[in-house]
Chains A and B, each alone.
Chain A
Amino acid sequence: MALKDIIGQEKALKVLKSCIVKNRIPHALLFAGDEGIGKKLTAVNFAKTINCLKGGVDDLFSIGEEKNTGDLTMDQIDACDKCPSCVKIDKGNHPDVFIIGPEGDSGQIKVSAVRQLGESLSYKPFEGKWKIVIVDNADRLNQSAANALLQTLEEPTPQSILILVSSRPDMLLSTIHSRCQRINFTPLPLGIMHTLLEGKFKVPDRDQSMLLGVLSGGRLGYALNANLIKQRDWSFYVLKQMIKGAEEAWEDRDAMEEWFDWAQLWLRDIAVFGATGRTDLLVNQDMKDEIKAISRGTILKDVLKLAREFYNIKRQLYFNLNRQLTLNYTSLLLKKMLGKSNC
């Protein structure tokens, strides 16, 4: 893997590469964007690139030397993927590259990890040119950890780079935001997704690749999950069962949480058809008829109310909601709001 293998994030890569070319790498970066679009991958490969022993950037960072970088083009900037440094980073045992992330049951990054980080950053790099810290899921920094990071983030020791990676950048403190240069990672445009899925990943069917592209919301990581369509079909099956009044729906908690995400999709399609009567706006193009059938018997307001209620349930799931009660409540709601339809 190297920077060139990262697909669809040209904008972000261009920013990063031009930082390298101009030798103005900021000491704090925030990689922000949806889950599964390659943020962490980029962070690791960025680390490899600037610490790479070979290749185009070899002499760029020799301390105290002014180098003419004019003839270095953007494409040449990349990790070689072969030198010891690159291999070590790949394997996760480079002494100058640290990756921290949520740990333990709480799923948070604790202040002890951050303090340790501050300590290890206080030394000069051992063998690389840069000491690089990647904080994965930075939104999971708990309050004291986030605050403890502030000073390091503002004025770290020379030759240190902190990369914060987050799919929910809005959850970060504004004091963290203002200290980092934010690099936005955007979902892939549908066209590119489509080409990639058909070309590189051999999705045979045109309709299917389109569907995958839309369902995944432009996140390649999601689209390549082989079960995406299967999961969708499962969620629709459960939805129909619930309208009919089934007593079992989800096998476990995870399935329950997942289902509420999917439910938004179905409610969205039902509502969209109900409001516009157009099928070309639907996400699930292949299920047009079934959506039409459900949508006909419903009132738009009810569907929207239901969607909001599901959103609220989804949020409360974090507070350990009883599964059976949730099921009863959900299926009652569904029966009440969508039950009149004939599906």
Chain B
Amino acid sequence: MSYIVLARKWRPQGFNDLIGQEAVVTTFKNALSSGKIVHAYLFSGPRGVGKTSSARILAKALNCLQRSDSEPCGECRSCKSITQGASVDVLEIDGASNTSVDAVRELREAVKYAPSGEKYKIYIIDEVHMLSTQAFNALLKTLEEPPAHVIFIFATTEPKKIPSTILSRCQHHSFRRITKNMIKGQLNKIIDTEKINIRESALEMIAKAADGSMRDALTLLDQATAFSDDITEEELQNLLGLPETEIISNLSKTILTGDISSTLSIIKELTDRGSDLRQITKDLVEYFRNIAIVKISREAEELLEFSQEEAGRLRDLASDVNIEQLTLLLTELLRLEGEIRNAVNPRYALELGLLRTSFVKGMTSIGDIFNMLAESKENPQVPGPESHIQGPAVIEEKKTAPVKKTAVNNKSEIPDREELWHKLLEDLNSKDHLLACKLEEAKIVNLTTTELVIGFNGGMSVLADSVRKNSSVIETILKNLSAYNLKLKILSLPGKKTKKSIDKIKEHVLSEPIVKDAMKIFNGSLIKVKSLEDESNSNCAD
């Protein structure tokens, strides 16, 4: 006899064998004991969770000759013939092979005839999502009002592909993924009966790798038993092509620290050894997902079904990064996983992708930047005391007219030039109101111990001339006010800033430490320098 794989051998034969689908099983049991059987069922759910098996069990239960409660007996003529797939009244149709409308028409013809001896004629259509649209539509009438002896059971992994008109005519049962622990429990039962030697840790690995599907778990177990009589964790890893967990955690560490040299060295070593880089990428994604979950959730142990120890290890890794960085890393890795799937040489794709992740470490989250900014305002340390005091002033200066920059060079003996200017205007106002008005239009360009340089806009040369004529009056007042022999020098300023002066401002602004810091933090560049004056002018114009 050819060998029957475990997944087939251990196909559930009664509702009690069906694990992980309590809700569905209870519904069926109640329906059977109360006799509320509908004429069309649809079973949906991921692979290997028991859809086809349930369909067969249901068929058996319905046709069982000596059913006491809701469980099929498994021994009567009917049950046996269904188990062997030889029943005349339970027809299992492969929906993926009989997709055409013709197949459905044939079925409609056959539906009319009464069952050949059993209670019901049951049609099980597996992979029903593959039927063509016409086939589905041809089925509608029959499905809505079939003869009393007919029951349809559809099974599919993709209920989305089934037309809503079909869905609304069926009782829909969704099957759920089986939890890791349930799979493990069932595997334990099987290895006891089959007398398979397997370590607990290896069993755990199989249950995890099965990813919610019992059939996957049994296929893996089958493979493992064929490979060795006494299955250990290492052998299983070897067999499944899974990389050792240590490698993944080392790799994750180097990625998290942004140590690109070590990362590349590890990849080189792995390639030299002939490891499956695609699998490694997949595991990396999973690992980082776990780190992210551990980072944000306190109940990570439950969510991941991890032990305290494992979760603790992940927490250590997670402590150095923030969640924004982790999200970025994960996004990058997920993209990489897709890329590497199609790559001719996975190594290059993997390495290029991991190089990309190295930038993430250098990134700072917006929240952190705000915190940093807030800190630097409270306790000045980074840009140095001088610039701190000047900090707010500098920003203003950047925006004000170009002429102010020499303020920094003021000597202590010279009175503040703004103050001086105010006093000058006040004094002058009492003496010569007209001259004061003219002088008000001027701006201070420079003030030293020997001279006061003021400027008029180009269009005001008339005012400049009249002030120049009266310069002696002003100089006397200045002498009184400042105790210096100040000479008045009058310039005419260009009406509009030339390109050269704008460049100069730019240069000046760029050299300011706070501007530099801002550009560094935000990774920005200087686009435009605008003076406050211009702005207010334009506002007035509006």
Contacts and interface: CB of A to CB of B under 8 A. Distances in A.
Interface of A: 8, 11, 14-15, 18-19, 22-28, 33-35, 63-64, 115, 118, 130, 144, 147-151, 154-155, 158-159, 168, 170-171, 174-175, 177-182, 184, 186-192, 214, 217-218, 261, 264-265, 267-268, 271-272, 275-276, 278, 281, 300-301, 304, 307-308, 311, 315
Interface stretch (B25-33, B263-271, B527-535): B263-271
B274 A307 contact: no
A278 B2 CA distance: 57
A170 B96 contact: no
A190 B271 contact: yes
Contacts of B339: 311
B131 to A, nearest CB: 10
B96 A151 contact: yes
A182 B223 CA distance: 8
Contact of B96 (A22, A64, A147, A261): A147
Contacts of A180: 219
Given A174-B47, A175-B157, A265-B348, A181 B355 contact: no
6 contacts: A25-B3, A34-B346, A150-B127, A186-B276, A272-B264, A281-B268
A264 B216 CA distance: 36
A20 to B, nearest CB: 9
Which 5 residue pairs of A and B lie closest in terms of their CB atoms, listed nearest first?
A147-B96, A184-B241, A190-B272, A189-B274, A151-B94
Given A155-B85, A267-B352, A308-B356, 17 more contacts: A11-B238, A24-B3, A27-B5, A144-B99, A147-B127, A151-B97, A174-B46, A178-B47, A178-B216, A186-B275, A190-B274, A218-B271, A272-B351, A275-B260, A281-B264, A304-B352, A308-B352
A180 B85 CA distance: 22
A180 to B, nearest CB: 7
A268 B348 contact: yes
Given A151-B126, A218-B271, A275 B97 contact: no
B272 A304 contact: no
Contact of A181 (B219, B265, B344, B352): B219
A300 to B, nearest CB: 7
Contacts, number: 167
B74 interface: no
B113 interface: no
B438 to A, nearest CB: 57
A311 B274 CA distance: 24
Interface stretch (B224-232, B411-419, B440-448, B454-462): B224-232
Contacts of B275: 186
A103 B47 CA distance: 29
In terms of DSSP, what is the predominant structure of the interface of chain B?
Answer: helix
A187 B94 CA distance: 38
B119 interface: no
Contacts of B274: 8, 186-190, 192, 218
Contacts of B278: 170
Nearest to A8: B274
Nearest to B264: A281
Given A178-B48, A189-B272, A189-B274, A148 B96 contact: yes
Given A184-B240, A217-B347, A18 B47 contact: no
B215 interface: yes
B3 A217 contact: no
A271 B127 contact: no
Contacts of B129: 147
Nearest to B359: A301
Nearest to B342: A315
Interface string B18-61: 00000000000000000000000000001110000000000000
Given A186-B241, A281-B265, A217 B341 contact: no
Contact of A189 (B1, B48, B273): B273
A255 to B, nearest CB: 15
Given A27-B2, A178-B215, A264 B157 contact: no
B175 to A, nearest CB: 13
A168 B127 contact: no
Nearest to A22: B226
A26 B47 contact: no
B355 A304 contact: yes
Interface in B46-85: 46-48, 85
B290 interface: no
